[in-house]
Amino acid sequence: MKPGPRRLEQAIGYRFRKRAHLRLALTHPSYRYENSDAQDDNQRLEFLGDAVLSLTTAEHLYNSCPDLREGDMSKLRSHLTEDRKLAGIAAELGLSSELLLGRGEAGSGGADRASNLADALEAVLGAAWLDGGMRAVRKIFGKVFLPELEILLNSNGAPNPKGTLQEFAQRNGFPVPTYETLAESGPDHDRIFTVEVTACSKSWRAEAGSKREAERLAAVQALEELVPDIGNN
């Protein structure tokens, strides 16, 4: 295998028990055609990884974003799992340098081709599923995909509880809400952040795998208590 699988494992937050799973995920069909020692390529793993990513994204949105409606969740999942987004994530991970390509594909710029990168990233998720089940997939999702999903949550027209809370507070004569990180726990690849938001002379706390998500959840809690008062103003 090309040098660097350990670096890729560090980047995705998961170390494979069977390195052959990762190698297969990085094996483009062109490599298989040109090398008799390659018995398979990553296309079947890409199919599996596509389904796994869709499920994991849906699970996270359902459990962590109770304020989102079905249409909002579908839109966010679609944006996160589109090929262009996946190719960009794969490029940031340095996955292009790890692809196993045939000489013709490599010579024509296949290592940077968006379709190859997107397929390989999904294949890595499929390989992780085979290697360590849902636990492995969730590790990669938390490290690689969750930050991207949080950006989409704040910029894609989905409900923005932090912004709504700030508008409510200022409209009712209170200072801008403040967020304070009270605690961090867990290993580096699976951190848990406890955040407290103070708004309208009250405080709420929430925990999540990132500060941004914990802040968002704390704002949701605040709005759940304050929203009934909005209709009375």
- Active site residue ranges: 50, 122
Residues with Cβ within 8 Å of residue 94, at least 6 apart in sequence: 4, 7, 8, 11
Residues with Cβ within 8 Å of 199's Cβ and at least 6 positions away in sequence, in order, are 165, 168, 169, 174, 177, 178, 219, 222, 226
Q: How far apart are CA 74 and CA 69, in angstroms?
A: 9
Residue type, 118: A
Run of H or E residues at 133: helix 114-140
Amino acid, single-letter form, for residue 34: E
